[in-house]
């Protein structure tokens, strides 16, 4: 599919959206993806990121398959 075809398809889908929330999220995504600014992580998130990185180094991770299985079990409850 060409870029022109993709743009036309996206525009048609956007025109069908009637939810302010979804349109705002879409606009935010476009702004982030087309901006030259470097995203700055808020200080309030840095500690959580450091904890996550330490967990990865310690091998405290789950495979995608394990996560999918857990979600399936939660959905059945």
pLDDT in tens, 7-26: 999 999 999 999 999 999 99
Residues with Cβ < 8 Å from 70, sequence gap 6 or more? 62
* Predicted local distance difference test score (pLDDT) of residue 73: 92
- To the question of pTM greater than 0.85 for the whole model, the response is no
Average pLDDT of every residue of the chain = 93
Instruction: Name the token pair of 10.
Output: 């996206």
* Predicted local distance difference test score (pLDDT) of residue 77: 76
* Domain layout of the chain by residue ranges: 1-39, 42-77
Residue carrying structure tokens 């901006």: 35
Residues with Cβ < 8 Å from 14, sequence gap 6 or more? 23, 26
Contact 13, 5 (CB under 8 A): no
């Amino acid at each position: 599919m060409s870029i022109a075809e993709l743009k036309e398809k996206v525009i048609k889908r956007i025109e069908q959206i009637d939810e302010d929330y979804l349109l705002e999220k879409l606009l935010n995504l476009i702004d982030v993806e087309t901006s030259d600014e470097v995203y700055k992580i808020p200080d309030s998130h840095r500690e959580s990121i450091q904890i996550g990185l330490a967990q990865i180094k310690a091998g405290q991770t789950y495979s995608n398959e394990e996560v999918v299985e857990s979600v399936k079990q939660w959905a059945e409850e």
